[in-house]
Chains A and B, each alone.
Chain A
Amino acid sequence: MVGTQSTDIERKIGFAIERMPAFPRSVQRVLELTRDINCRPKDLVGVIEKDPVMTMRILKVINSAYYALPTRIASVSQSVVYLGINTIKSLSLSVAAAGMLPNSNLAGFDTRRYLIHSLATAGVARQLCMSVGHEDNDAGDSYVVGLLHDFGKVVFSQSFAADFRKALALSAEEGIPLHEAERRLIGIDHAQVGAMLVAKWTFPAAIVECIRDHHTSGVASSVLRDSLLVADQICRGLTKEDIPVDWEGRSPDGTTRFGDNMASIIDKLGNLKKIIDEARDFAQVEHSK
C-alpha cells in the first residue's frame, strides 16, 4: 500500500462510498419510519446503528471538517445530540435513496452473512467491553468497531468485484486467511481499506487503529482491541447458516482479559443467542409487499 497505488485506491474507494446503498431492511425501515411525522427518534437511531453503511455515512458527516466539532464522534446516538434528529433523518433518507445493497454481487460476496457477522460481533464486543467495566472503556466504541471492522469487504465487493471474487476463491482453495489473499490480489486488505476510510473521515484514532490492526498480531492490547478480536472469533461461525462454531481453545492474540480460554469467555457472557437471533432477524431480506 504505497505511492500512487494507494492514492488511486483511496480515491476510488472514497468515491464509491458516496453512492453505496445500504442494507435492505434498514432502507425499508427508514422509509417507513420517516413517512410518519411523529416518528420516534430512538426508533430511527435503532435502525441506523444496525446498518454499517448508514452508520459510516453519518459518522463521516459529523466528523467532517465542515462541521469541525472539538471532539470526534463515534456513535449514532451521540450524533443526534450534535446534529439533531432532523438532520440524521435527512442523511439516512439520502442513503436510502441510493437503493438497497443487493444480496448477490459480481464478487460473489454474501452481504447478508457479512451483516449478520458484523451485527453479532458489534453486540458481543459491546457486551465484552461492559463486562470489564471501568469508565475509560467505551462500550459504544466497541460496538462501532465491531459493526465496521470488516467494512472494507463491502467496499471490495462493490468497487473491486473481480479481484475480490478471485481473493475469495484463493482464500478458499489455499486455505489462507482472506486478508492475505486480498493483499496478494488487490494489494491492500479489507482492514487497511476500512481504516483508510475512517481515518480520512477523522473518526477517533482508537477506532481507526483498531480496525486497521484487527488482523495484525502483536499489537498493544486494549479493551477495544481485545473485545473486537474475541467477539470476531466468537461470531466467525455465524457466517454459515448453522453454527459450527469453534468456541474452544485459546482466545485470539493471547488476550486473557475476558478469561483464559474461549469456552470460559462464552460461558461468562451468558446467552449469546439473543444477540445472534437479532442479527439474523435484521439481516433477513423482506420482500416488498
Chain B
Amino acid sequence: MKIRFWGVRGSIPSPGPKTVRYGGNTTCIEVRSDAGELIIIDAGTGIAALSQNLLAEMPVNAHVFITHTHWDHIHGLPFFLPFFVPGNKVKLYGAFDLITGQGVQQVMEVQMQYSYFPIREAELRAAIDYHTLEIGESVEFGDVLVKSTLMNHPVTDFGYRVESNGKSMFFSGDHEPWYNIYDPEDEGYAEFQEMIDLKQSVLDDFVREVDLLVIDCSYTTAEYPSKRGWGHGTFAGAMALARRVGAKKLVCTHHEPTRSDDELERVFAEALEQQPGADGGPEIVLSREGLEIEI
C-alpha cells in the first residue's frame, strides 16, 4: 500500500514563504492498494493538485472518503478534475448529518450552488455515486477494506482504517480525545469518565497494531487548555496513542495554519523530547505535502 500526502494543513489553506517546506494545502491523502485501487481521504485543497496528477491516468475509478464536512476537508472537491470527464467513476463516502438530515451528497450540493460555484453537480460528466455510511460501517472493493469509526469533533466525524494485502493505515480526520465535561468534584464526573474511557478503549482496539497511524496533532500540550472543545488533538496525545496500540509509524498532521515551518519543527522536536518513547516504538514523523510512505 502506498500513501501520499497532498494536503496537511488544518482549518484554512496557508500558502506563503513560511510554509513552503510542509505545504499550505488543507487535508487530502491518497492511498493506493497493491492492486491499484485509488482511495482518497478528504478533499481539502490538496485534492486539486492530486487531480492534476490523475489526468495522466484517465479513466479513473476513485473512492473518496470524507471524514467530516468542515470546509477544510471538502473545499477542494469542486476542483476535482475527474468529475468533469466522462468515463471516470467517483464514489463519495461520508457520514449522515444529524442536524441537516442530509447524507454525504450535501457536500456537493452545498458547495456547487449558483452563488458559490459556476457549475452545478448535475453538469458533471463522471459517474458519481454517493454512499452515506452508518457508524461503524465497512466497505469492500477490489483488494481493499475500509472500516469507519466515530471520532470526537464538533460535527459527525469518521476515522477510516484502510486495510489491504495484510497492511493497514488509519486516518483520524479531525479528532480531540474525549475529555470529561465535569470537574472531579461534580456528581456526574465518575460516570462520564467511565463512558469516555470505554470510548477510548474502543478506538484503541480499532487502531491496534496498525502499520501507519495518521493523527490530528494541531496543538502542543501547552496550547491545548485554551483550545479545549475545539475538536483537535495534541502531539503528545497522538504519540501516546501510537505507542499504546503498537502502531508501526505515526504521522502527525493537520498542522496549525499560523505555524511556520521552523515553528512546526520546533514544537515537534519539543514534543518528542517531552515524550521520549521506549526502544522499538513507532517511528514518528511530521506530515508534509509530497510525503510518500510505502507500507
Chain A residues engaging chain B, CB cutoff 8 angstroms: 40-42, 45, 61, 64, 66-70, 77-78, 80-87, 90-91, 94, 140
Given A66-B98, A77-B191, residue A42 in contact with residue B186 (CB < 8 A): yes
Given A45-B181, A67-B135, A77-B192, residue A87 in contact with residue B150 (CB < 8 A): no
A77 to B136, CA, bound (A): 21
User: Looking at the complex, which one of B155, B188, B196 makes contact with A86 (CB distance below 8 Å)?
Assistant: B155
Produce 1/0 per residue, B226-251, CB < 8 A to A.
Answer: 00010100000000000000000000
How far does the Cβ of B229 sit from chain A's closest Cβ, in whole Å? 7
A67 to B103, CA, bound (A): 11
* Cβ contacts A to B, 20 pairs, < 8 Å: A40-B181, A41-B181, A42-B182, A42-B186, A61-B98, A67-B135, A68-B134, A77-B181, A77-B188, A77-B195, A80-B181, A81-B195, A82-B150, A83-B156, A84-B155, A85-B154, A85-B181, A91-B98, A91-B99, A94-B99
User: Looking at the complex, which one of A67, A70, A83, A140 makes contact with B191 (CB distance below 8 Å)?
Assistant: A140
Q: Which residue of B lies closest to A83 (CB)?
A: B98
Specify which chain A residues have a CB less than 8 angstroms from the CB of B134 in the assembled complex: 66, 68
Q: Which residue of B lies closest to A139 (CB)?
A: B191
Beta-carbon contact of A87 and B181 below 8 Å: no
How far does the Cβ of A140 sit from chain B's closest Cβ, in whole Å? 7
Beta-carbon contact of A42 and B181 below 8 Å: yes
Specify which chain A residues have a CB less than 8 angstroms from the CB of B96 in the assembled complex: 66-67
Beta-carbon contact of A81 and B199 below 8 Å: yes
Beta-carbon contact of A84 and B191 below 8 Å: no
How far does the Cβ of A46 sit from chain B's closest Cβ, in whole Å? 9
Pairs A-B, 10 closest by C-beta atoms: A86-B154, A41-B181, A68-B134, A42-B181, A66-B96, A81-B195, A90-B99, A68-B135, A42-B182, A77-B192
How far does the Cβ of B291 sit from chain A's closest Cβ, in whole Å? 30
Counting CB contacts under 8 A, is B111 at the interface?
Answer: no
**B contact patch SS:** loop
Counting CB contacts under 8 A, is B69 at the interface?
Answer: no
Q: Which residue of B lies closest to A45 (CB)?
A: B181
A66 to B98, CA, bound (A): 8
Counting CB contacts under 8 A, is B84 at the interface?
Answer: no
Q: Besides the contacts A66-B101, A67-B98, what 19 more A-B pairs have beta carbons closer than 8 Å?
A: A40-B181, A42-B183, A66-B96, A68-B134, A68-B137, A69-B135, A70-B135, A70-B136, A77-B181, A77-B191, A77-B195, A80-B181, A81-B196, A83-B156, A84-B154, A85-B181, A85-B229, A86-B231, A90-B99
Beta-carbon contact of B186 and A84 below 8 Å: no
A66 to B96, CA, bound (A): 7
Specify which chain B residues have a CB less than 8 angstroms from the CB of A90 in the assembled complex: 99
Specify which chain B residues have a CB less than 8 angstroms from the CB of A80 in the assembled complex: 181
How far does the Cβ of A130 sit from chain B's closest Cβ, in whole Å? 10
From 21 to 55 in chain B, residues with beta carbon under 8 angstroms from any chain A beta carbon are: none
Q: Which residue of A lies closest to B134 (CB)?
A: A68
Counting CB contacts under 8 A, is B153 at the interface?
Answer: yes
User: Looking at the complex, which one of B154, B183, B188, B199 makes contact with A87 (CB distance below 8 Å)?
Assistant: B154
How far does the Cβ of B230 sit from chain A's closest Cβ, in whole Å? 10
Produce 1/0 per residue, B167-184, CB < 8 A to A.
Answer: 000000000001001110
Beta-carbon contact of B155 and A87 below 8 Å: yes
A14 to B136, CA, bound (A): 28
Specify which chain A residues have a CB less than 8 angstroms from the CB of B186 in the assembled complex: 42
Counting CB contacts under 8 A, is B19 at the interface?
Answer: no
A140 to B191, CA, bound (A): 9
Beta-carbon contact of A87 and B191 below 8 Å: no
